Amino acid sequence: MSLQSEHRCNGFYYEEMVTTTLFLKSELKSIGFNSESKFQRLQIVETEPFGKTLVIDDHTQSSALDEHVYHEALVHPVLLAHGNPKTVFIGGGGEGATAREILRWKSVEKLVMCDIDEIACKTCREQLPEWSEGVYEDPRFEIHYEDAFAFLQNWKGPKFDVIIMDICDPIEAGPGVVLYFQEFYQSIARDKMTEGGVFVTQSGACGFLNYHEVFTTIHSTCRSSFEHVHAYSVDVPSFGCPWGYNMCYNSCAWPDAPSWDPAEVDRRLAAALGEEAAAALHHYDGVSHRALFHVPKMVRKAMAKETRVMT
């Protein structure tokens, strides 16, 4: 079956590998930025279907079309599970969009973000201002350009109610791979959280063709480090597949948050953000919340069988 359209392609494409046998190909409109930092290659391109897109080391990190889907799903479930977050830490998060979502919460008094790549952060601030949306002007926001593992290990300030890891996938030798290790979860992340603190990490692709690459291993590593782990996922079209997360805690105020009905989620979200701000979210609401935690059976079976742990 073919799609009939009067649109004529310009002949230029952006192509990205989803798996070794599956590729996502989009019509390329422009390349707005192309450079390298000490840590990674940075590109900002614009494609016909997804709009402006941040690409790091040849992998899409977020696009104008659906970055809200990824970032709202990363932030709001974990903050709801805590209930009253005042201090929050972000590992990574260079686009500024994770911070944007956290700072929508009226209860948040202090947000500390640590990203190793200052050039990437400043490029996103300049080239993708819609992503950070005034974050850098918010007095509650504090940013450090350091290795997040060492920074959190040496942190002497108040403990965090919530820790959110918004880092690149655990590709071997990548700068953030140790932030997926059991040692980090058990010896650093847990130690730097308040009693009742909640942790969440982005956990890579979890479609039927690629859940085995990193998602199930990250889930297994989280299970070995926390008493309670809730895996969830959301479809992010610009990534070419569903994307996974793992929310973890030993105890928290609202352990039943993943199973709340839509009306309860909407009520709590409106109380936390304000009714107008909650309604303005692009993707996340009570119905979307329930959908997040319905991971497909095939993936759930693989998660249950997974024994690999990242050390």
Q: Which of 66, 161, 166, 169 is catalytic?
A: 166
Which residues, at least 6 apart from 57, have a Cβ–Cβ distance to it below 8 Å?
Answer: 40, 41, 168, 171
Distance, CA of 237 to CA of 242 (rounded, Å):
8
Which residues, at least 6 apart from 154, have a Cβ–Cβ distance to it below 8 Å?
Answer: none
34, containing H or E segment: strand 22-36
Contact 124, 145 (CB under 8 A): no
Q: Where are the alpha helices (DSSP H) in the chain?
A: 67-82, 97-102, 118-127, 129-132, 148-153, 182-183, 215-223, 262-273, 275-279, 286-292, 297-305
Nearest partner of 154 among 112, 195, 182, 103, judged by Cα = 112
Q: Is 166 a catalytic residue?
A: yes
- Could you tell me the two tokens for 1? 């079956």
Catalogue the active-site residues. 166
